[in-house]
Amino acid sequence: MKLNIYKDKQAVAKEFSEFLMEQLKEKEELTVALSGGSTPKIVFDHLAEHFAEAQWSKIKFYWGDERCVPPTDSESNYKMTVDHLFSKINVPEENIYRVLGENDPAEEAVRYGKVLNETLPVAGDTPRFDLVILGMGDDGHTASIFPENIEMWDADENCIVASHPQSGQKRVSLTGKVINNATAVAFLVTGAGKAEKVDEILNKKEGYKKYPAALVNPPSQNLYWFMDEAAAEKLSQ
């Protein structure tokens, strides 16, 4: 596990963007599962501003989770990615593997799970991403696996349908077996609201495994945390 702690969100965005571009240099093709949330939004803005001319056609874009809403809905992680990145770079449509949020959630979880098996290398009967980007909620959720339904992490399927514990919003999410099968996993975690869970998880405090983010542990050992000082604040105490 590699901890990277930077002054603020902007520095996290800069450093992660450079990390992603480094990964791109080393490969002919890169398969990436994107995350929703506020930190990726800043990363996408940085990538669009500073790396618009990168070889985007080498990346195949997927999502680690998506809200079950139409692609035009303000809640859509796909829409956020279009607004902050895809609308500003040259990425071939065929490189974008959108979760069809407008579909029936249960049907879409099955369909997307098949897309992963058909378009990614499969290792140990599980699709393998080069890189899975994750956020972490203030409650310790990651992708759309929430503490309230942490058993979903161990589902046999590639993708499941989860419900947001407060809003009830349905989401399609990768499961733990796909996330941990990735060659690399990068957490983007910023803001003081994360500090408590970051401390509990990284210091393995009592009960830390009740948080889905704590279960991210790829055997590849390529687990990177990109945090700002606010999120890491309790670590240094």
Q: Which residues bind ligand 6PG (CB under 6 A)?
A: 35-39, 65, 77, 135-137, 141-144
C-alpha distance across the termini of the chain, in Å: 20
Q: What are phi and psi of 189, to 5 degrees?
A: -135, 115
How far apart are CB 28 and ligand 6PG at their closest, in Å? 28
DSSP state of 8: S
Complex with ligand 6PG: residue 101 or 113, whichever CB lies closer: 101
C-alpha 9, offset from chain centre: 16
Q: Which is nearer to ligand 6PG, 58 or 102 (CB)?
A: 102
Per 3-state DSSP, the chain is made up of helix, strand and coil in percentages (nearest 5) of 40, 20, 40
- Give the pair of three-digit tokens for residue 126: 């599980």
Q: How far is the CB of 63 from ligand 6PG (least distance, A)?
A: 8
Residue with Cβ nearer ligand 6PG (38 or 119) = 38
Beta-carbon contacts of 104 under 8 Å, excluding residues fewer than 6 positions away, are: none
- What type of residue sits at position 7? K
Query: Is the CB of 12 or the CB of 184 nearer to ligand 6PG?
Result: 12
Nearer Cβ to ligand 6PG (58/164): 164
Residue nearest to ligand 6PG (CB): 135
The CB-of-16 to ligand 6PG minimum distance in angstroms stands at: 12
Contact 230, 195 (CB under 8 A): yes
Measured from the CB of residue 214, what is the shortest distance to ligand 6PG in angstroms?
14
CB 199 to ligand 6PG: min, Å? 16
